[in-house]
Amino acid sequence: MQKRFHKIQFNDRSLEVQQVPFDLKDYVYFFLKRVVALGVIAAASIYTFDRWFESPADVARDRELAFLKDQLEGLNEDLAQMDAVLADISHRDDAIYRSIFGTDPYPAYLRNPGVGGVDRTKHLAGHAWSEELIAVSEGVAELQRKLVAQSRSFDEVLDLARNNTELLKSIPAIQPVRNEDLKRMASGYGYRIHPIYKVRKFHYGMDFSAPTGTEIFATGDGEVILAKRTYNGFGRHVIIRHGFGYETLYAHMSEILVKRGDKVRRGDLIGLVGSTGTSVAPHLHYEVHKDGKRLNPAHFYFNDLTPEQYEELLMQSEQENQSFD
């Protein structure tokens, strides 16, 4: 019976080619050769598939990683926006609310508290996205500390408000002309082009464009200390002393409806819009003074404007256009 595995061998004696059965050595060599060949083929196949093809599990994993990366980037953007909003709130707290009550700004070391002690992000180290996760975690922690500090600052402002009822009545906290009566907010506080001299000058008030005869209201409780008519400058104008260092000026009126010494309350009618004095169109020029310093009136309309209306007013007032006086 012929053996299954054999090799071809040349017989030197008979000078013939013969089939010789495999011995043990031949079997070992035969199987080793095939094992090596299969190993090479398997390695090449694995490399090829790993290099050029992705398994469903790999595709799902890559999609999940891309999603997580987008989420991390979105969180960083949200944190940056929230930090900017909080910085604006802090600025208003110091520059407006606290200045109204004549108190010092909230201390910087309390508003921006540091952090020490143990490393609270240690558990996030050693992973593929450790740096990004640690940055987000630290950003959230910092924002939380600032929010707590701002909350404490507002608590102090509320305490000041509760103890200063008369001050709150005196603060010029409304617009002198109703929104529905306005054509537009013509010019704000800051550098503007003078309508007559055509030069860039600092405009210390706000110009409210409205038809002649539009009603003008006192913006806080107080006493009329000036009700005067001039033929240039402010024309017919009124000054109200509110106390606590506050005074307000209403200029270019067509008619004055109060006199010196009158006591007025917030919302009382004091005159009508006009274009008297140095003016190029009917409007009200309005100023707020505190301890002799002229302030931006836009910071004081917190009693009768919604947040959206207030932001719109600020945007309009910051445009560097031409004033009406």
Q: The domain spanning residue 201 has which CATH number?
A: 2.70.70.10
More confident residue, 84 or 318: 84
Same domain (yes/no): 208, 269: yes
Task: Please tell me the predicted confidence (pLDDT) of residue 200.
Answer: 61
Question: Does any domain span residue 1?
Answer: no
* CB proximity list for 302: less than 8 A, separation 6 or greater: 173, 310
Query: Is 277 in the same domain as 295?
Result: yes
Q: What is the DSSP string of 138-191?
A: HHHHHHHHHHHHHHHHHHHHHHHHHT-HHHHHHS--S-SS-GGG-SEEEE-SEE
pLDDT in tens, 223-256: 999 999 998 889 999 999 999 899 999 999 999 9
Q: Is residue 81 part of a domain?
A: yes
pLDDT at 113: 72
Write the DSSP assignment of 258-314 as a string of letters.
Answer: --TT-EE-TT-EEEEEB--SS-SSSEEEEEEEETTEEE-GGGG--SS--HHHHHHHH
- State the average pLDDT over residues 138-163: 82
Confidence of residue 1 (pLDDT cuts 50, 70, 90): very low
Give the contacts of 136 (CB within 8 A, at least 6 positions apart): 72, 75, 76, 79
Within this chain, do residues 90 and 158 fall inside the same structural domain, yes or no? yes
CA distances in angstroms from 166 to 122, 135, 161, 170, 290, listed in the order given: 53, 48, 10, 6, 16
* pLDDT score for 187: 65
More confident residue, 207 or 115: 207
Q: Specify the higher pLDDT residue, 4 or 261.
A: 261
**One domain for residues 300 and 201:** yes
pLDDT at 267: 94
- Between residues 65 and 285, which one has the greater pLDDT? 285
Identify whether residues 32 and 70 lie together within a single domain: no
Residues 194, 126 share a domain: no
pLDDT at 80 over 60: yes
Do residue 48 and residue 77 come from a single domain? no
Instruction: Tell me if 303 sits within 8 A of 268, measured CB to CB.
Output: no
| pLDDT 10s digits, 164-188 | 778 888 889 898 998 887 665 556 6
Are 18 and 88 contained in the same domain? no
Q: What does the pLDDT look like over 88-138, one tens digit per residue?
A: 888 878 777 777 676 778 888 788 776 655 566 666 666 666 677 777 887
**Of 28-37, 43-52, 207-216, 254-263, which one has max mean pLDDT?**
254-263
- Looking at the 3D structure of the chain, how many domains does it have? 3
Residue 172: inside a domain: no
Same domain? For 155 and 189 the reply is no
Range of the domain at 282: 179-317
Q: How far apart are CA 5 and CA 22, in angstroms?
A: 6
Does 86 score more than 90 pLDDT? no
Predicted TM-score (pTM) of this structure: 0.52
Q: Are residues 121 and 220 in the same domain?
A: no
Q: Is residue 111 part of a domain?
A: yes
* Mean pLDDT calculated for residue range 268-275: 96
Looking at the fold, whether 232 and 313 belong to one and the same domain comes out as yes
Measure CA 12 to chain center: 97
Structural domain includes residue 234: yes
CA angle 75, 79, 85 (to 5 degrees): 145
Q: Is 323 within a domain? A: no
Q: For residue 323, what pLDDT band results from cuts at 50, 70 and 90?
A: very low
| Mean pLDDT across 30-38 | 84
Q: Is 73 among the domain residues? A: yes
Which two tokens mark 123? 């558990």
303 located within any domain: yes
Indicate if 61 and 82 belong to the same structural domain. Answer: yes
Q: Which pLDDT score is estimated for 61?
A: 75
